[in-house]
Structure 1
Amino acid sequence: MREWIPISSSPKGRLALAAVTEFGARPFDEVTVGELAAAAEVTTGALYHHFGSKLGLYAFVREDVEQRLLDRMEGAIAASAPTSDRSAAVMAALLIGFDFAVREGFLRVLGDPPAGAGHDRLTDMLSASTAPASPVLGRVLAAAWRAALVAVAEGSDPQQARAALVSLEFRLSS
């Protein structure tokens, strides 16, 4: 399980770190190129040089953060594999992923659907993990999970948002 990509104090590294903080706290559309450059103490030209665009920087950061999330969630499902209750395994994954995103401050970068992406890796993983595999259920679960993160980003108590996710459990089982 990856903890973080190695990042130096180079302009590219500082931009990546600034992007994790900014995109973790605010929606993609509310973060400006100027703010990212200022937070990284670089010029906007450095952002374009290293990432091509704000979306390129976002995609770079999101891919890494999302992979760390999916590693944890897939691990939770795998650890529950010996049991026949897939809904319990999926619920464990949702809660482990939620706790990780809240603890690391990745509320918006993971709470918002991927910007400019053709597919959604969280939805894909959840769809494949349900029994039977269900693309629609995967989308619904991903949307509920993201809504809990956005609620926390907007000021809701993390324990209340977590409890809302837990309340889905009986619906998965029925």
Structure 2
Amino acid sequence: MREWIPVSTSPKGRLVLAAVKEFGARPFEEVTVAELAAAAEVTTGALYHHFGSKLGLYAFVRDDVERRLLDRMEGAVAATGAGAGRSAAVTSAMLVGLDFAVRENFLRILGDPPPGAGPDRLAEMLARSAVPPAPLLGTVLAAAWRAALTAIAGGARPEDARAAIAALRLHAPDDELRAL
């Protein structure tokens, strides 16, 4: 359970909301501390006070956005059901996640791999969804999913990215997933 929920009227909450918007639409390197502070109507000192650094704010926001993504994707896996097969469940999860990222404009923040040496929770979730669990498959699928988001952020049509992800199912029937 979450310890703190940002309140949009507090300086910390406004920083989080500004960061979600900016990091969702632009790469981390292009977003400046001054821009974040100005968008939140706070000083740069407030950003450092609450998050320690731009990377600290990014990590906080990414964690929140990624949790929302994974909730939706895990729900899609569960909702697809055993009768449809694990390949269909994984594809469904990836499509639900793509739609969420596009709708919320989280293309950049979710299109990049997680910062640092921490775990890749998306890859782990996708690996667990395969039968039997396949860590390398999760890594490959997460990379393909992130590449689709990056392509959309670069101007590709979301429909084309959806079609590319849906095509992955054609090349990974359940028997092949079990073999991995």
The answer to whether TM tops 0.5 is: yes
2:78 match: secondary structure: helix
- Could you tell me which residue of structure 2 aligns to residue 28 of structure 1? 28
The amino acid of 1:10's aligned partner reads S
10-19 vs 32-41, greater mean Cα deviation: 32-41
Aligned residues: 171
Distance in structure 2 (CA, Å) of the matches to 1:91 and 1:29: 31
- Could you tell me which residue of structure 1 aligns to residue 122 of structure 2? 122
The amino acid of 1:111's aligned partner reads G
CA separation of 1:51/1:133 partners in 2, compared to 1, >3 Å: closer, same or farther? same
When the two chains are superposed, the root-mean-square deviation of aligned CA atoms in Å is: 1.5
- Could you tell me which residue of structure 2 aligns to residue 7 of structure 1? 7
1:154-169 matches, within 5 Å, as: 154-169=154-169
- How high is the TM-score relative to the length of structure 2? 0.90
- Could you tell me which residue of structure 2 aligns to residue 139 of structure 1? 139
- Could you tell me which residue of structure 1 aligns to residue 152 of structure 2? 152
Offset at residue 117 of structure 1 (A): 4.5
**Gap runs ≥5 in structure 2:** none
- Could you tell me which residue of structure 2 aligns to residue 66 of structure 1? 66
Distance in structure 2 (CA, Å) of the matches to 1:28 and 1:106: 12
Deviation above 6 Å: which 4+ runs of structure 1?
none
- Could you tell me which residue of structure 1 aligns to residue 38 of structure 2? 38
Offset at residue 164 of structure 1 (A): 1.0
Given that residues 28 and 115 in structure 1 are in contact (C-alpha distance below 8 angstroms), is that contact kept between their aligned partners in structure 2? no
Given that residues 77 and 92 in structure 1 are in contact (C-alpha distance below 8 angstroms), is that contact kept between their aligned partners in structure 2? yes
User: Matched residues, percent identical?
Assistant: 71
The amino acid of 1:37's aligned partner reads A
Given that residues 55 and 116 in structure 1 are in contact (C-alpha distance below 8 angstroms), is that contact kept between their aligned partners in structure 2? no
The amino acid of 1:46's aligned partner reads A
